[in-house]
A and B are shown apart, each in its own frame.
Chain A
Amino acid sequence: DGGITQSPKYLFRKEGQNVTLSCEQNLNHDAMYWYRQDPGQGLRLIYYSQIVNDFQKGDIAEGYSVSREKKESFPLTVTSAQKNPTAFYLCASSDRGDTGELFFGEGSRLTVL
């Protein structure tokens, strides 16, 4: 089945540690995205990539880093510079088709202790 796989689903880390969230897709989509969701805030864009080896900052990129070495993979690192990393993180992908609808993974919930 085609889809987007995020791992881990739940992650606990101590303050000051870097954390990497995995996102893999087998939909052959060019574009991939990372969103952060906080209660009452909706989804906010962290980073996106429209093609391999290229990515752009979103609205809240500070304290995060990404890479796009393969079309299928778009990992997100939450660095120690991110002041409030506890959140629900959603990865998505889209193709260049008619609507550009986003397909989402199941999300990763990060809790920093």
Chain B
Amino acid sequence: AQKITQTQPGMFVQEKEAVTLDCTYDTSDPSYGLFWYKQPSSGEMIFLIYQGSYDQQNATEGRYSLNFQKARKSANLVISASQLGDSAMYFCAMRGSGNTPLVFGKGTRLSVIA
């Protein structure tokens, strides 16, 4: 079984600063995928970034990067140059081998301050 832990219920960051949202995971599958989603107050879930367990490089998508440390089982999301529109809930999730459903963490609420 997979498990995702997000230890920061809430975070504050100043506009234009970088912020790191923590995520650790637990799985016995040799092959897995890690995801980050953003949920604004409207409730929609927006896919941000994906990292495969065998990917050699850390994933990046625009201002988002995933700091993947396999030995530590961590997959932290780094948001550079924070914007007011980044204020939202952020969920880390993982999928084990096969087409198994995603397992989600409890989320981190990020507030960007002007």
Q: Name A residues whose Cβ lies closer than 8 Å to a Cβ of B.
A: 31, 33, 35, 40-45, 48, 50, 58, 88, 90, 92, 94, 96, 99-104, 106-107, 109
In the assembled complex, the CB of B56 is this many whole angstroms from the nearest CB of chain A, namely 16
Instruction: Tell me which residues from 68 to 92 in chain B have a Cβ below 8 Å from any Cβ of chain A.
Output: 91
Question: How many pairs, one residue from A and one from B, have CB atoms within 8 Å of each other in the complex?
Answer: 52
**Given A99-B50, A104-B45, are A31 and B99 neighbors across the interface (CB < 8 Å)?**
yes
**Given A90-B45, A104-B44, are A48 and B104 neighbors across the interface (CB < 8 Å)?**
no
Q: A41-B106, A99-B35, A100-B102 are in contact. List 11 more A-B contacts (CB 8 A).
A: A31-B99, A33-B101, A42-B107, A43-B91, A43-B93, A45-B103, A48-B101, A99-B33, A101-B50, A102-B45, A107-B43
Interface of A is mostly: strand
Q: Name B residues whose Cβ lies closer than 8 Å to a Cβ of A.
A: 6, 9, 33, 35, 42-45, 47, 50, 52, 91, 93, 95, 99, 101-107
Structural contact, B99 and A42, CB atoms closer than 8 A: no
A-B contact pairs, 17 of them (CB 8 A): A31-B99, A35-B104, A40-B9, A40-B106, A42-B105, A43-B91, A45-B103, A50-B99, A88-B43, A96-B99, A99-B33, A99-B35, A102-B35, A102-B93, A104-B44, A106-B42, A106-B44
